[in-house]
Amino acid sequence: MLTSARGLSVGLWVMITLMVVSSVALFRSSNDRGGSVVMWLFSPTHQRLYEPMLERAGSTVQTPLDISLLSIAAIERKMMSGFFAGLPTADLIEVERVVVGRAFTGPPESIGFLDLTDRLEDEGLLDQINAPSFGPWSSGGRIYGLPHDVHPVMLGYRSDLVEAAGIDLSVVETWDDYFEAMSPLMADHDNDGQPDRWPLAFWPTQLDNVELLMLQGDGRFFDDEGLPELNSDRNAELLARIVSWCVGPGRVAADVEDFTANGHQQRMQGFAIGYLCPDWMCAIWKENLPPEAAGKFKLMPLPAFEPGGRRTSVRGGTMLGIPKDGERIDDAWEYAKLLYTSPQAARDLYAETDIITPVSALWDDPVFDEPDPFFSGQRKGRMFIELASGVPVRTSSPYNKRAVLLVRDAAVSLRDYALANSAFGAESLETESKRLLSQAQIQIEREMARNAFTGVSR
């Protein structure tokens, strides 16, 4: 492959050039600041939350805030065009985790976001925010974004069916315990050769849930130096275990989609009993399931992979960053604190979206202790908060998205191998799991080596 003098492929430079050119018109139309602090965000829900908050705040910040709602793709294109080409960006950019890694390609001086570490420390916020929540927004030990959320994960389950069967989940600690406890619900009443109900909604094709479970089990795709370690022994063991749930006579999992009408119908039918449920998923269920779903579900900590192991994981995430070449950095910082760290922001965020704030100093707010009728009166806010400090720390590597895709592909291939070879137990899959992950390791190393900044060597 042809490469430039700086080690980047010619193809990549062409893509960057086209990205810059295609963004010029957008910059011209959207960056006529008129004396305002300009903010880009991608969520209409967030915009609805912020506008009344800003009205209540009055003149806390003298410079007005101009919010522009853009797609995630548009924010990525404009953000990276600004960082690469020195074009103006917004003063505040709300960025989703899948996108933000690209901003951390290269040495620290090339990162387009303002280093917030000293500001956070000087104002006492570093100790007031859940430490693991900084992970995706940090690079080289420095923090470049204010976290919007924690997104701990619990197991949401059909409590009406579980309790009708006389099953006590309070004694469940591990995944093995859970699957054993669920066995009475796996009867085949319609005689089709398959259980009428499955204990868990999970499938190897589910990109986010593969990552979620690997993280829960202390697997990781990059080490502390940002070098890939997809083929670690722990990753191979975990991948073999979760794929074994989906094959053979001992199969315990089924493919249920998260956001489709068919998936919601299967939830109501009890096709699967348990679901991997981050805090924001609670609001998705309330909005999309029929009213009679209320009171049929409860939440519990995730079963651990081993006794004493982690009982939660994490999925998704958003940060608020300040471009370091912005015109109104101090005003942008004041708005960032207002929208992300104020008590009203925490209350509004939870009431509207079921998302708990990462600001641990606000976790004693009574809003998190309110019973939720949908979840059978559970005080789910407090339950998520009790797990928040235990969420796994995640990498900010620009190659994480690619690594997760490669591991997901390995999971799919491992299931195919299991079916073709009637190798259904986790132990019988570990050798092939290691081989597939080693192939993924070679692939990610090759891709990273093409970049002069992230080139890897062993």
Paired tokens of 337 = 């604190």
| Complete edge-to-edge strand list for the sheet that includes strand 65-69 | 65-69, 37-41, 92-96, 318-321, 146-147
**Angle, CA 198 vertex, CA 192 and CA 201 arms, to 5°:** 130
Any idea which of 17-31, 56-70, 334-348 has the lowest mean pLDDT?
Answer: 17-31
Any idea which of 12-26, 86-100, 376-390 has the lowest mean pLDDT?
Answer: 12-26
Q: What is the predicted pLDDT for the residue at 280?
A: 98
Query: Do 78 and 70 touch, CB atoms closer than 8 A?
Result: yes
What's at 26, amino acid-wise?
Answer: L
Query: Do 352 and 179 touch, CB atoms closer than 8 A?
Result: no
What mean pLDDT do residues 357-377 have? 98
Closest CA to 336 of 72, 153, 85, 143: 143
Indicate the pLDDT class of residue 1, thresholds 50, 70 and 90: very low
Paired tokens of 57 = 């705040």
Q: Is the pLDDT of residue 96 over 90?
A: yes
Q: Is the pLDDT of residue 323 over 90?
A: yes
Q: Which residue bears the tokens 């009408």?
A: 261
Q: Is the pLDDT of residue 245 over 80?
A: yes
For residue 291, what are the contacts with CB-CB under 8 A and spacing of at least 6? none
End-to-end CA distance of the chain: 22
Q: Is the pLDDT of residue 30 over 50?
A: no
Paired tokens of 71 = 């797609």
CA dist 427 and 65 (Å) reads: 57
Q: Is the pLDDT of residue 8 over 80?
A: no
- Sort 331 into a burial class: Cβ within 10 Å, 0-12 / 13-18 / 19+: buried
Q: Is the pLDDT of residue 368 over 50?
A: yes
Any idea which of 19-23, 69-73, 275-279 has the lowest mean pLDDT?
Answer: 19-23
Indicate the pLDDT class of residue 3, thresholds 50, 70 and 90: very low
CA dist 444 and 449 (Å) reads: 8
CA dist 342 and 53 (Å) reads: 10
Indicate the pLDDT class of residue 38, thresholds 50, 70 and 90: very high
Query: Do 200 and 220 touch, CB atoms closer than 8 A?
Result: no
CA dist 156 and 251 (Å) reads: 20
For residue 97, what are the contacts with CB-CB under 8 A and spacing of at least 6? 136, 316, 317, 318, 319, 394
Q: What is the predicted pLDDT for the residue at 382?
A: 98
Q: What is the predicted pLDDT for the residue at 58?
A: 64
CA dist 345 and 347 (Å) reads: 6
Q: What is the predicted pLDDT for the residue at 188?
A: 85
Any idea which of 1-5, 17-21, 376-380, 405-409 has the lowest mean pLDDT?
Answer: 1-5
CA dist 64 and 66 (Å) reads: 7
Any idea which of 83-92, 234-243, 301-310 has the lowest mean pLDDT?
Answer: 83-92
**Domain architecture of the chain: domains with CATH:** 10-150+315-368 (3.40.190.10)
Q: What is the predicted pLDDT for the residue at 452?
A: 63
Q: Is the pLDDT of residue 276 over 50?
A: yes
Q: What is the predicted pLDDT for the residue at 311?
A: 98
Indicate the pLDDT class of residue 28, thresholds 50, 70 and 90: very low
Q: How many CB atoms lie within 10 A of CB 55?
A: 8
Q: What is the predicted pLDDT for the residue at 61?
A: 80
Q: What is the predicted pLDDT for the residue at 33?
A: 52
Q: Which residue bears the tokens 């069967």?
A: 165
